[in-house]
Structure 1
Amino acid sequence: MFWSAFLVIYFVLSKALPGLRWEKPDLAWLFLTGPLMFVVFTITSINKNYRLRRFGDPVLLFSLLPNISSVNASIKYILWRLAAGFLVMALINPQLGSKMSEAKVRGIDIMLAVDVSNSMMAEDLKPNRLTLATRSIEKLLEKLHGDRIGIVVFAGQAFVQLPITNDYSAGKLFLSSISPNIVPVQGTAIGAAIDLSLESFDFETPAQKVIIVITDGENHEDDPLASAKAASDKGVKVYTIGMGSTDGTPIPNYDRGRKDGFLKDREGTIVMSRLNEEMLEDIADAGNGSYIRASNAEVGLKPLLAELNSIEKTEMGSVSYSEYEDRFQLFLALALAFLLLEFFIRERKGKIAREVNLFD
């Protein structure tokens, strides 16, 4: 019941003040520790009475110990719980919106072309090339501000997985569904991926445009150099990130989601997948971009971000937002006040209380 009052305060304030928000609402679960505190206090009291009974009747013993005040002990407990409750309120930190502000958003348009062919399941990068690539893209999205992104997936064909948007959460959602099964035709058509990425841009907007191709470079279908050159002619830079090792590694075969040996060719020989760095360097050169090689330790985010940040940002619009001011100070002050009161109240009676015996 005691801590329920704080939960009521929490919800009443949330409803009564439209401009109120809680900075850390996930900490509201701390209110649930109230019953645990009550149980600890009850067990402590029972244990104290049990030890007193070993020496005689507790009522008689209290009368023989006039300096001990059970009332003070209860008051200290209540003050301590009040302090803890207001401290939790301060930790959750109520905030009030003081005014609306507007900020200009500047950025570039980025299309990510992700290779989802079977060779991207090779495990020369851990846990495999494709998983490392998608995780790296997630980290990239966390570091972008104001830029718009889109995703193209490709193997033997290319498909738009996510049209260009400034919704990074949508990007992360679509990344979670990427696998070799998402494209029905196997192979590696890098040129088609660049062409489709180029078509996905809105060239009526003045924003600078960039294509980032993430692949092992084993192209079997088309002429990616011509596609990269066509993109460059339209002012779009093409960057490539190489996934894998040049030594070559087998490609795991999966049966119903379980690893079942390695992929083999028609002659029964295990297929080895190798990073084609020369191809990816040539694509980047043709696209007026840069080539970055991924590794387990460094996927290339730092140099890639440096390249992206060097590109001139264009105003993409503006966003309105509320500026919030912290209001935890009142709750923190109350918590400290109750803690001070609890500290100065002794379990022993004062001189006047002993003489008057007002409470016990």
Structure 2
Amino acid sequence: MFRFEHTELLYLLAIIPILAFVSLIIGRRRKKALERFGNPALLEPLMPGASSVRPIIKFYLMLLALTAIILTLAGPQFGTKLETVKRKGIEIIIALDVSNSMNAQDIQPSRLDRAKRAIFQLVDKLQNDKVGLVVFAGQAYTQLPITTDYASAKMFISSINTGIIPTQGTAIGAAINQSVRSFTSQEDINRAIIVITDGENHEDNAIQAAQAAAEKGIKVYTVGMGLPKGSPIPVPGGSKNTFMKDNQGNVVISKLNEGMLVEIANAGDAEFIAANNIRKGMNDLVDHLSKLEKSEMEAKIYTDYKNQFQYMALFALLFLLIDFIVLERKNKYLSKIKLFEEEDEK
């Protein structure tokens, strides 16, 4: 297991692209200033030691060194000791709709992006609970087995898009059934399924699936993404104003099916959450989940981490050394060596 001890220092990496952009602007201004003096090709013999490439190489060597220094300060670590610990919590499976309708932008920047943000906020509020991820469209798949590794959960969530499942549709029932199968076999523990979807085009009996889950003691919450007035669905990979159309050539308007989601939540002995306001919606959901009784669970976690900063520090030193060796001006002795030029015939 890899981690950074001081993750807040990673924000310093934002400096790197800023410096690269500033360098690009300065380079262009210098080039224009030189062109005002005359033709660069004619000026070149007057500056035999000048090099246009070496300063750029030195600058990017410094950027690489700076990147390695920031990573060194952030404290890279590898977990070396895996232990089984007991903690009190619940098991949660998040079932996320990844059908094309989740690209609709009635909620900015899109329903799917807003849903992913909501999940991030939810995961940040979890303590000692296990979480898993199921994605669904026309079919449902387990994307992340249930775990206490919240960092991995966020990584999987951030990579999700509407193209990961080729079969289109919104099979909420299949998602609920797959979520039920994704829980651990441990008994006497409270469990919850959180279905995040716009609720459109349900292709199976989602209410029956929610009832079956509730009979097993699993609560099924629904989180509605979208607005009742709806929005057109952008064509994946298309231009900005290109939207999906039906067989008659009419633009398809995707609307939140709130009534269906309320019925599913009622059948699942839980609540419907409108996530138009992410912060309030997730806070309400966390409040509901916190009321569930915590049970003792076993989890495998890394309890001992070994620092690995020396590798990044070595890279930083190497880049600085190369930068020191490379001069900004051409070496007059090395420039006389012409390996690929033929000697003039005498």
TM-score tier by shorter-chain length is: 0.5 to 0.7
Contact residue 114 and residue 154 of structure 1 kept, 8 A: yes
Which of these residues, 232, 236, 249, is aligned with residue 214 of structure 2? 232
The 3-state SS of whatever aligns with 1:152 is: strand
Which of these residues, 113, 130, 139, is aligned with residue 148 of structure 1? 130
Contact residue 208 and residue 314 of structure 1 kept, 8 A: yes
Which of these residues, 99, 113, 116, is aligned with residue 117 of structure 1? 99
Q: Which runs of 4+ in 1 moved over 4 A?
A: 21-27, 318-322
The 3-state SS of whatever aligns with 1:220 is: coil
The answer as to 2:193 corresponding to 1:214 is no
1:264 maps to what in 2?
245
Which of these residues, 269, 293, 298, is aligned with residue 312 of structure 1? 293
Which of these residues, 117, 120, 130, is aligned with residue 135 of structure 1? 117
Task: For residue 127 of structure 1, report the CA deviation from its aligned partner.
Answer: 0.3
In structure 1, C-alpha distance between the alignment counterparts of 2:115 and 2:8, rounded to whole Å? 33
The structure having more radius of gyration, on CA atoms, is 1
Task: For residue 219 of structure 1, report the CA deviation from its aligned partner.
Answer: 3.2
Greater Cα offset, 294-303 or 283-292: 294-303
Residues 321 and 119 from structure 1, CA distance in 2 versus in 1: closer, same or farther, beyond 3 angstroms?
Answer: same
Map 1:33-48; keep pairs closer than 5 Å: none
Contact residue 118 and residue 278 of structure 2 kept, 8 A: no
1:231-271 alpha-carbon deviations (Å, 9 max, x no partner): 00101000000000101211111326x53511100110000
Task: For residue 177 of structure 1, report the CA deviation from its aligned partner.
Answer: 1.5
Contact residue 187 and residue 220 of structure 1 kept, 8 A: yes
In structure 1, C-alpha distance between the alignment counterparts of 2:7 and 2:132, rounded to whole Å? 31
The 3-state SS of whatever aligns with 2:200 is: coil
CA RMSD, aligned part only? Answer: 2.8
Contact residue 110 and residue 212 of structure 1 kept, 8 A: yes
The 3-state SS of whatever aligns with 2:235 is: strand
Contact residue 210 and residue 220 of structure 2 kept, 8 A: yes
In structure 2, C-alpha distance between the alignment counterparts of 1:150 and 1:25, rounded to whole Å? 26
In structure 1, C-alpha distance between the alignment counterparts of 2:277 and 2:217, rounded to whole Å? 32
Task: For residue 222 of structure 1, report the CA deviation from its aligned partner.
Answer: 0.4
Letter in 2 for 1:200: S
Task: For residue 142 of structure 1, report the CA deviation from its aligned partner.
Answer: 1.0
Contact residue 115 and residue 215 of structure 1 kept, 8 A: yes
1:192-236 alpha-carbon deviations (Å, 9 max, x no partner): 000000011123343211000000011331010000000001010
Contact residue 195 and residue 222 of structure 2 kept, 8 A: yes
The answer as to 2:179 corresponding to 1:191 is no
In structure 1, C-alpha distance between the alignment counterparts of 2:200 and 2:94, rounded to whole Å? 18
Task: For residue 176 of structure 1, report the CA deviation from its aligned partner.
Answer: 1.4
Task: For residue 296 of structure 1, report the CA deviation from its aligned partner.
Answer: 4.4
Which of these residues, 170, 174, 182, is aligned with residue 200 of structure 1? 182
1:173 maps to what in 2?
155
Contact residue 190 and residue 219 of structure 1 kept, 8 A: no
Task: For residue 321 of structure 1, report the CA deviation from its aligned partner.
Answer: 5.8
1:334 maps to what in 2?
none
Which of these residues, 208, 212, 224, is aligned with residue 242 of structure 1? 224
The 3-state SS of whatever aligns with 2:107 is: coil
1:276 maps to what in 2?
257
Gap runs ≥5 in structure 1: 1-20, 30-91, 93-101, 323-360
Residues 156 and 25 from structure 1, CA distance in 2 versus in 1: closer, same or farther, beyond 3 angstroms?
Answer: closer
Residues 221 and 299 from structure 1, CA distance in 2 versus in 1: closer, same or farther, beyond 3 angstroms?
Answer: farther
Gap runs ≥5 in structure 2: 13-73, 75-83, 305-346
Residues 206 and 275 from structure 1, CA distance in 2 versus in 1: closer, same or farther, beyond 3 angstroms?
Answer: same
